[in-house]
């Protein structure tokens, strides 16, 4: 059984912690330059096409893997116990039992892998991804934090999608604005706590001076003890992928995103306080995800790509007298990707240019004990799924800045003040669904610059 087709295959998704927020951008320029599925299915594999799923599937339980069909569903009579069945656009399963229950046929299944369904052939796609000039439709959009729906907190003004809400005690505000050829992002994160104030000086607002503590005029108040902002954009790019099989064995899997460009400016300010930020603990990690339905290759194989943003914070400003702030900027141009062949994942990437900048006047930490702060942003964070199964958990460009101060008063170490900005790209690959037991993280590039004195 041979299937060949040419179809557009792109789903845009943007990532917030366990949350999922989605929208369809008007004119999101996705130009298909040749997506094909040219494969021979394995003997005994049954393909239930989209029409059969739409007309015949009347119930499903994803947890148990059971599917209920109308008895006259086209193609259902070909399914036997032990068969691999492709439920077009939905799932790939192996049948464990078939039971007639009067007006319905219940098919019990367990997971199957793509190599169990494909004997030989290739799957490939090549698309140009751009961004339009507005938001056209929010139909079918779902917003989640874990399993909790957050749809009421999503707003849409015809030009941008915004999220505002409390997550793990942090006030998170995010705005995504598509424009021709680029996607803009604005994000602020704040956290309240008991802060100390000296005279009329507020200890924390983005980029107010660090105020030394001490003296009789220090007062405590409930206010922001942490504030972060990130603004920037990513440009449109080409995405190309290829998967090949021979004798039901995965031969190659290549994914490349060519012509990626971006600019990101990050700022943070934080002050210490009892129980506010614990030393060395990652106090925030929020992948943000905007998701909407996939598109099919060959009429049955959905391939979805997501583009996300994940902010995270690691802090050590526990002393009430400690404070830290920073300002960093990165511009880059790169080709990003990986290639799997003969059981090995290799990086296939080229960083054409990267400009990393630290605002030395605005980046400083202070305190009577070791004080440090790191604010990072994965943007974009790309995810690839096939038939709903992850094959690329992440392909990310990760930028983070840090400020570190060692006074040496208690530690007896050499006193130092140091600032760094890092930019790296990492590919996370999980090939189990494709039929090869391999999970890895591969660093594609890593750049950093540092300012200040050397620290032990």
DSSP 369-405: S-EEEEEEEEEEEEEEEETTEEEEEEEEEEEEEEEEE
Residue pLDDT, tens place only, 67-89: 999 999 999 999 999 999 999 99
* Average pLDDT value for the chain: 77
pLDDT at residue 285 above 90? no
Q: Note the pLDDT of residue 151.
A: 54
DSSP letter string over 324-350?
EEEEEEEEEEEEEEEEEETTEEEE--E
Helix (H) or strand (E) holding 233: strand 218-235
Please determine, for residue 155, whether its predicted confidence score (pLDDT) is greater than 80. Answer: no
pTM of this structure: 0.79
pLDDT value for 375:
82
From residue 36, alpha-carbon distances to 7, 121, 123 in Å are 7, 10, 6
Give pLDDT, residue 353: 92
Tell me the per-residue pLDDT of 439-451, one tens digit each, with 9 for 90 and over. Answer: 999 999 999 999 8
pLDDT by residue (tens digit) across 9-19? 222 233 323 33
Predicted local distance difference test score (pLDDT) of residue 174: 82
| Residue 139 reports pLDDT greater than 60 | no
Q: Range with the lowest mean pLDDT among 21-25, 108-112, 120-124, 449-453?
A: 21-25
Within 8 A by CB and 6+ apart from 135, the residues are: 23, 24, 25, 26, 156, 158, 159, 160, 161, 178
CATH 1.20.1630 fits 41-118, yes or no: no
Higher pLDDT, 200 or 393: 393
What pLDDT score was predicted for residue 233?
A: 93
273 or 358, which is more confident?
358
Six-digit token pair at 113? 């892998």
Position 109 pLDDT exceeds 90? yes
Residue 392 CA: distances (Å) to CA of 149, 222, 303, 338, 399: 25, 43, 11, 10, 20
Is residue 160 over pLDDT 90?
A: no
Has residue 152 got a pLDDT over 60? no
Looking at residue 318, its pLDDT comes to 54
**pLDDT tens for each residue of 359-381:** 888 887 777 777 777 888 888 88
Answer with the residue of higher pLDDT: 143 or 56.
56
At 446 the pLDDT is 92
| pLDDT over 50 (residue 183) | yes
> Which residue ranges make up each domain of the chain?
2-37+125-452, 41-118
């Amino acid at each position: 059984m041979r299937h060949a087709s040419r179809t557009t295959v792109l789903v845009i998704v943007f990532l917030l912690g366990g949350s999922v927020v989605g929208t369809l951008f008007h004119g999101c320029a996705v130009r298909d330059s040749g997506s094909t599925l040219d494969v021979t299915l394995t003997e005994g594999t049954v393909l239930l096409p989209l029409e059969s799923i739409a007309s015949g599937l009347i119930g499903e339980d994803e947890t148990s893997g059971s599917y209920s069909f109308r008895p006259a569903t086209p193609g259902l009579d070909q399914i036997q116990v032990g068969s691999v069945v492709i439920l077009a656009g939905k799932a790939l399963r192996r049948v464990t039992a078939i039971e007639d229950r009067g007006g319905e046929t219940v098919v019990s299944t367990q997971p199957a892998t793509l190599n169990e369904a494909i004997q030989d052939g290739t799957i490939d796609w090549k698309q140009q991804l751009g961004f339009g000039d507005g938001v056209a439709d929010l139909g079918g959009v779902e917003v989640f934090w874990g399993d909790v729906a957050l749809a009421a907190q999503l707003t849409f003004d015809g030009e941008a999608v915004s999220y505002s809400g409390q997550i793990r005690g942090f006030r998170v505000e995010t705005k995504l604005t598509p424009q021709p050829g680029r996607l803009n992002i604005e994000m602020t994160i704040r956290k309240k706590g008991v802060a100390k104030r000296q005279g009329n000086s507020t200890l924390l607002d983005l980029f107010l001076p660090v105020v030394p503590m001490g003296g009789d005029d220090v007062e405590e108040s409930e206010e922001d003890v942490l504030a972060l902002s990130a603004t920037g954009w990513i440009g449109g790019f080409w995405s190309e992928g290829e998967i090949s099989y021979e004798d039901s064995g995965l031969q190659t899997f290549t994914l490349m995103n060519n012509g990626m460009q971006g600019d990101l400016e990050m700022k943070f300010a934080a002050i210490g306080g009892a129980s506010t930020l614990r030393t060395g603990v990652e106090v925030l990690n929020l992948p943000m995800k905007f998701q909407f339905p996939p598109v099919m290759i060959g009429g049955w194989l959905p391939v979805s790509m997501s583009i996300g943003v994940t902010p995270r914070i690691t802090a050590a400003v526990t002393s009430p007298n400690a404070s830290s702030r920073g300002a960093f900027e990165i511009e880059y141009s790169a080709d990003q990707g990986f290639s799997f062949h003969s059981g090995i994942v290799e990086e296939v990437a080229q960083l054409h240019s990267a400009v990393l900048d630290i605002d030395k006047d605005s980046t400083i930490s202070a305190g009577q004990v070791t004080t440090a702060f790191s604010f990072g942003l994965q943007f974009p964070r790309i995810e690839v799924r096939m038939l709903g199964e992850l094959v690329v958990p992440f392909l990310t460009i990760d930028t983070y800045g840090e400020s570190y101060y060692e006074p040496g008063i208690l530690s007896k170490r050499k006193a130092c003040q140091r600032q760094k900005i890092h930019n790296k790209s990492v590919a996370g690959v999980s090939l189990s669904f494709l039929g090869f037991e391999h999970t890895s993280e591969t660093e594609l590039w890593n750049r950093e610059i540092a300012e200040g004195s050397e620290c032990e």
